[in-house]
Amino acid sequence: MTDARSRREWLAAVGAATTAATAGCASLDSPPVDDEEREAPDVDPGTGDPTPQTIPPGVAQFRGSLERWGYYPDETVPDAVEEAWRIPEVNTGEHSAAKASAVPTPDGGIVLPGDTGELLAITADGDVRWRGETDMEGRGLHGTPAVADGRAYVGAYDGVCYAFALDSGDLEWSTNLGGSIGSSPLYLDGELYVSVEFPDPEGRLFAVDAETGDVTWEEPDHRPTDHPHSSPAVSLDAGRMVCGSNDGYLYCWSFPDLEFQWRFATDPPESNQGEIKGPIATYDGAAFFGSWDFSVYRVDLATGEEDWRFETGDLSMTGPAIDPERDVVYMGSHDDHLYALDVSTGEMEWRFRTGRPLTGCATTTGDRVLTGSKDGSLYALEADSGDEVWRVEHDGWVTSTPRVVDGDIYYAERAPDPHGDDTDGGGYKLVAAE
């Protein structure tokens, strides 16, 4: 693998793009509006609420933004829903990790990955336009694609990063990064940032040119180590990129120059019980994440020091959803609860109990929160109170992150019994009930 351009040229290009992206924005921790070029709602600048942010058209990715907020303030969750369609046999494997999630495409459809090893392009009406094949079956795709430049970019458990043409599904390039990729790529200005796990166990973070697939940077010291399933997040405001790992550490690099800064230890990482498997979110100068040490953390991006820690009743492998207007972070746990925590203090505002553990990330539209559970249900909750608005029950586990697009809800389930006769785990679209 050869560099498409020199390191100095690449840093200069990303730095210039970063400067352009920040121009005119009082805060870069602002609402991610990623699916068309538009501005976030106006707010009172004296409150510190989000300021407008313009996102290039045709760009969409996991959790909606570089910061991985899972926040879509322009969307509305209906008061009642019904199933518009179901695509069978999306997730049929027995691996119990949270499954990958849908991402909208510029033509009004979605791309939906599955552990069958296929990436599906689906129209809004539920027709499969094409199936992008990887070399991996059974545990193929756990990460969620990034959509940009007329392509869908996704990593697979064969350690390969793939780029499929959105219009045809043709494979434009594939780059073998080694090991396995269970994370979601982060796209920014023509670069993909991908965490990769190796069997030793160890891991490494890569930057890949989105046009060519050439590797432009790789972490030289095999950080993060021990199978990083976690997806990286960036805060342009703080000039930081962070990623978690199974070794119980949160790792931090400066951005865009990608010099290693610090690592933060969960409690205690040496016991192998502090794994950070979920994606990280950055907001308000801090990183938010859950750990297998039964905790949710806020860590200062500048210093790597703990701001607060909230103890749950079991491990947490979900990613945070952040509402910047309420200053609330929503986190799930294996103790069956979804928690709403104050961003500044970590104090609990409410909690909602499902019937089984939560492993997928929650999604918030501001007024309402969506979360799936291993009890087989997708829940819609009131953001202020945690009161249930509705639930939709399934045979399988709802472990993928729901995505709201024009008021419609896309998500997937895991097969309920991979060893039995029923091995079908489907992809869904819900619409407002008539």
Whether residue 49 is predicted with pLDDT greater than 60 in this model: the reply is no
More confident residue, 247 or 363: 363
pLDDT at 3: 33
pLDDT of residue 101: 92
Q: Which pLDDT score is estimated for 112?
A: 96
**Average pLDDT value for the chain:** 85
As a whole number, mean pLDDT of residues 5-16 equals 34
pLDDT over 90 at 272, yes or no: no
The C-alpha atoms of residue 41 and residue 349 are separated, in whole angstroms, by 25
Residue 402 reports pLDDT greater than 60: yes
Residue 362: is its pLDDT beyond 50? yes
Q: Does 416 score more than 90 pLDDT?
A: no
With a CB cutoff of 8 Å and minimum separation 6, the contacts of 76 are: 365, 367, 404, 407
pLDDT confidence of residue 1: 34
Tokens 């990064």 found at: 177
pLDDT attached to residue 198: 87
Tell me, what's the pLDDT at 200? 79
Mean pLDDT of 89-93: 83
Higher model confidence: residue 27 or residue 248?
248
pLDDT value of residue 100:
81
Q: In this predicted model, which residue has the larger pLDDT, 289 or 415?
A: 289
Residue 32 has pLDDT above 80, yes or no: no
pLDDT of residue 11 exceeding 60: no
Matching residue, tokens 């972490």: 219
The tally of CA atoms less than 13 A away on the side-chain side of residue 426 is: 15
Q: Domain residues of the chain, as ranges?
A: 7-85+96-364
| pLDDT band for position 96 (cuts 50, 70, 90) | low
Integer Cα distance of 146 and 286 in angstroms: 24
Contact 227, 245 (CB under 8 A): yes
| Residue 396 or residue 30, greater confidence | 396
Q: Is 265 within 8 Å of 249 (Cβ atoms)? A: yes
Higher pLDDT, 244 or 139: 244
Q: What is the 3-state secondary structure (H, E, C) of the chain?
A: CCCCCCHHHHHHHHHHHHHHHHCCCCCCCCCCCCCCCCCCCCCCHHHCCCCCCCCCCCCECHHHCCCCCCECCCCCCCCCEEEEEEECCCCCCCCCCCCCCCEECCCCCEEEECCCCEEEEECCCCCEEEEEECCCCCCCCCCCCEEECCEEEEECCCCEEEEEECCCCCEEEEEECCCECCCCCEEECCEEEEEEEECCCEEEEEEEECCCCCEEEECCCCCCCCCCCCCCEEECCCCEEEEECCCCEEEEEECCCCCEEEEEECCCHHHCCCCCCCCCEEECCEEEEEECCCEEEEEECCCCCEEEEEECCCCCCCCCEEECCCCEEEEECCCCEEEEEECCCCCEEEEEECCCCCCCCCEECCCEEEEECCCCEEEEEECCCCCEEEEEECCCECCCCCEEECCEEEEECECCCCCCCCCCCCEEEEEECC
The pLDDT value given to residue 142: 85
More confident residue, 49 or 177: 177
Q: Find the range with the poorest average confidence among 101-110, 141-150, 268-277, 332-341.
A: 268-277
The class (CATH top level) of 7-85+96-364 is mainly beta
d(Cα 149, Cα 219) in Å, to the nearest integer? 25
The yes-or-no verdict on residue 420 having pLDDT over 80 is: no
pLDDT value at residue 106: 94
The yes-or-no verdict on residue 353 having pLDDT over 90 is yes
The pLDDT, as a whole number, for residue 344 is 98
CA dist 381 and 390 (Å) reads 7
Q: Give me the pLDDT at residue 10, please.
A: 34
Position 27 confidence tier, pLDDT thresholds 50, 70, 90: very low
> What is the per-residue pLDDT for 304?
98
Which strands form 286-291's sheet, in the order they lie side by side? 281-283, 286-291, 295-300, 306-311
